[in-house]
Structure 1
């Protein structure tokens, strides 16, 4: 094998090509990215970058010179339009054709948008997914302006926190019965509802968007409860979907993502996938993990397996979110939880998810020590009794030795 092409220059793509070189691969590596800049970190876009606390250059995972120095052909502003597995070629815009011995999709995901019929194409309606989105949003964040956030997931809440800190008037609507309903327990939803309310964010749960109004630019919104509000701009945070069109058109098996096996290999033995675009095996089913940690870990395993390592990938899910002065850290997956135990020590708080008697996940708010304990317990397959976790006198570190 002498030629590897990686499509998608995000966190997973950058991690994959870096690992190929560190593992001693000496062949040709091409990393294709549709955006004009080198790979960068996305989580900061809706936090420090919007706040003006992080410069553009600090977003970059590595300077462009690093890729040159490691003989990685980083081609930014370059979009792949098709992949032909039979001839092992990738066709780019402009009809240039690249050949490959092995190819990896690290194409990430796209934000869900609003239909044009309800005002989704009006000026002043934004998503927060890439650097161009954040740059377009920055001028909108001026004290006193009125922002409507549509969606009460982590992206929506993070954007609301930034806006509130900058003195904007913020209304957040969530169609479900509570914010974070899809991803967290009621206890975590309650914590963040209280946090945002304390910063004057108007959270309206069980209320959806009927339509945005305005001539060319959004000026208001009609909500599902019949209320009408005036807004200066809107942010849509209603989820993402995997970028699978190239893979699907190439005949690669996809099902809510590009389906991979335990090694990161797709239905084509010469094509691999990692990151937000890929599904992976987890407890007998295929899931997608939308996180930086998974993008890095899965991509690095794929790089090793491209070189013949045959290492299975066992994900260790972890996530985080920064809102105001609160850092939420999440370990594990709470899928199918039956009980939640709360632990409070001073200003620190954590919620521990159990499926019957098994500890499966932890949400930790300003509680890094218990987050690390919980993460290690989950990875080790240890499940202390819920009463032990809830007891403020419990020596949590001692649980790791039991």
Structure 2
């Protein structure tokens, strides 16, 4: 490799860090410029809704790189700076202060940002959760055991509700579907899992979504679309995230709910790749495009993109089995593959009643996903099976156990 070759990585969270690490680990000795919107050194995000929010860990505990490792990587860090525009013809990335950064190859890893409806952030006491600063603000607000409303019943909202309840707060979880996580798990499995927060003392308000808030300068109530009012001193909003792609307008990079990529994570523009929450790529294993907002994918995709930069076509295709896990209320839930609520669901180990089970999701007699509750060892087996089969796999014959 020649020293003058420069790779610019726009985004300094997990996907960007893994790209930079893998480049160095595979012998790249050119320049690696890492641009990050936050002034903090890169850190891990999953602990924000659990250990950091609950006070068991500090921001320093979740840094992705030690001081020694950071020095060894020899990165040109541009923290507290955002990508503002891309000029593929001139192979230049413009930063928010107007500085142009020339690149030989560019990796887009700008991640996602929380959805927040207009005017919701006008009330004091209403918080998203994406950054360390968000987390510390919520942690401070939870002191004194206030009434907490969590808007959104996905993984993030469920984890925040679990942590707030453990801290002694009166917690209400608001979810428009039949139960938390029903959008992924389907109603039957989600309703079974809902017994866990209920047993912990969390109130579930399902079947209606938040329309807005009432109060003075500070939030006092959550207003639901069906007319109900939920009293709250603190509101945490976790209703999804959007890929950060606005800065790519006019660049020629194709955008559709993320940066569109091929099976090698290459975009529509030469020498530009994408990784992490922002990337929507074609996964040959499941024969579909997907955008995955989970830790495992960000780590694996960042490493793959680095190999693609160095090896070209020899890197092959990025064909992972999507995987995510969550710890809530003392239980562990894991999801692998691409399960859909409309899939046929079979319980093959354990039972829903005992809150320890493995559920297979099948579509047209093909295995598409696996959900496991407190069954990590079994999940490893089925993840390997999904990796071997993908969308073309044969039906999995396992003894069905009545729930």
| TM-score of the pair, normalised by structure 2 | 0.92
- Stretch deviating more after TM superposition (240-249 or 132-141): 240-249
- Stretch deviating more after TM superposition (223-232 or 53-62): 223-232
Q: Matched residue of 2:184: which SS?
A: coil
Which of the numbers 73, 77, 86 marks the counterpart of 2:80?
A: 77
| Preserved contact between residue 277 and residue 291 of structure 2 (Cα < 8 Å) | yes
Distance 2:189 2:208 in 1: 20
| Structure 1, unaligned runs of 5 or more | 393-402
Structure 2 residue 121 is matched with structure 1 residue 110: no
Distance 2:186 2:221 in 1: 32
Distance 1:389 1:31 in 2: 50
- For the structure 1 residues 97 and 278, does the alpha-carbon distance in structure 2 shift closer, same or farther, using more than 3 Å as the test? same
- Stretch deviating more after TM superposition (138-147 or 198-207): 138-147
| Preserved contact between residue 38 and residue 63 of structure 1 (Cα < 8 Å) | no
Q: CA RMSD in A?
A: 1.9
What are the within-5 Å matches in structure 2 for residues 205-244 of structure 1?
A: 205-244=206-245
Q: Matched residue of 2:304: which SS?
A: helix
Which of the numbers 372, 379, 384 marks the counterpart of 2:387?
A: 379
| Preserved contact between residue 108 and residue 274 of structure 2 (Cα < 8 Å) | yes
- Stretch deviating more after TM superposition (186-195 or 330-339): 330-339
Distance 1:260 1:347 in 2: 39
CA displacement, residues 266-291 of structure 1 (integer Å, 9 cap, x when unaligned) = 01111110111010103443210111
| Counterpart position of 2:336 | 331
Q: Matched residue of 2:379: which SS?
A: helix
CA displacement, residues 105-140 of structure 1 (integer Å, 9 cap, x when unaligned) = 000001100221xx4421110111111110111111
CA displacement, residues 19-56 of structure 1 (integer Å, 9 cap, x when unaligned) = 01111111111000011112111111111111111222
Distance 1:48 1:295 in 2: 20
- For the structure 1 residues 272 and 387, does the alpha-carbon distance in structure 2 shift closer, same or farther, using more than 3 Å as the test? closer
- For the structure 1 residues 146 and 391, does the alpha-carbon distance in structure 2 shift closer, same or farther, using more than 3 Å as the test? closer
Distance 1:196 1:335 in 2: 23
| Preserved contact between residue 337 and residue 356 of structure 1 (Cα < 8 Å) | no
Structure 2 residue 374 is matched with structure 1 residue 366: yes
Distance 1:383 1:58 in 2: 44
| Counterpart position of 2:205 | 204
| Structure 2, unaligned runs of 5 or more | none
- For the structure 1 residues 143 and 367, does the alpha-carbon distance in structure 2 shift closer, same or farther, using more than 3 Å as the test? farther
Structure 2 residue 363 is matched with structure 1 residue 355: yes
| Preserved contact between residue 337 and residue 360 of structure 1 (Cα < 8 Å) | no
| Counterpart position of 2:272 | 271
What are the within-5 Å matches in structure 2 for residues 382-397 of structure 1?
A: 383=394, 385=396, 388-390=399-401
| Counterpart position of 1:154 | 155
What are the within-5 Å matches in structure 2 for residues 180-195 of structure 1?
A: 180-195=181-196
1:337 Cα deviation from its structure 2 partner: 5.1
| Preserved contact between residue 16 and residue 302 of structure 1 (Cα < 8 Å) | yes
| Counterpart position of 1:167 | 168
| Counterpart position of 2:350 | 344
- For the structure 1 residues 135 and 249, does the alpha-carbon distance in structure 2 shift closer, same or farther, using more than 3 Å as the test? farther
Which of the numbers 19, 35, 54 marks the counterpart of 2:38?
A: 35
* Number of aligned residue pairs: 390
| Preserved contact between residue 162 and residue 197 of structure 2 (Cα < 8 Å) | yes
Q: Matched residue of 1:182: which SS?
A: helix
CA displacement, residues 367-399 of structure 1 (integer Å, 9 cap, x when unaligned) = 11111111112112265655525389xxxxxxx
1:336 Cα deviation from its structure 2 partner: 7.2
Distance 2:279 2:197 in 1: 33
| Counterpart position of 1:396 | none
Which of the numbers 77, 94, 97 marks the counterpart of 1:94?
A: 97
- For the structure 1 residues 216 and 327, does the alpha-carbon distance in structure 2 shift closer, same or farther, using more than 3 Å as the test? same
Distance 2:343 2:206 in 1: 24
| Preserved contact between residue 186 and residue 341 of structure 2 (Cα < 8 Å) | no
Q: Matched residue of 2:350: which SS?
A: strand
| Preserved contact between residue 151 and residue 173 of structure 1 (Cα < 8 Å) | yes
| TM-score of the pair, normalised by structure 1 | 0.92
| Counterpart position of 2:128 | 127
| Preserved contact between residue 184 and residue 341 of structure 2 (Cα < 8 Å) | no
CA displacement, residues 300-324 of structure 1 (integer Å, 9 cap, x when unaligned) = 1111111133221112211011101
| Counterpart position of 1:286 | 289
Q: Matched residue of 2:254: which SS?
A: coil
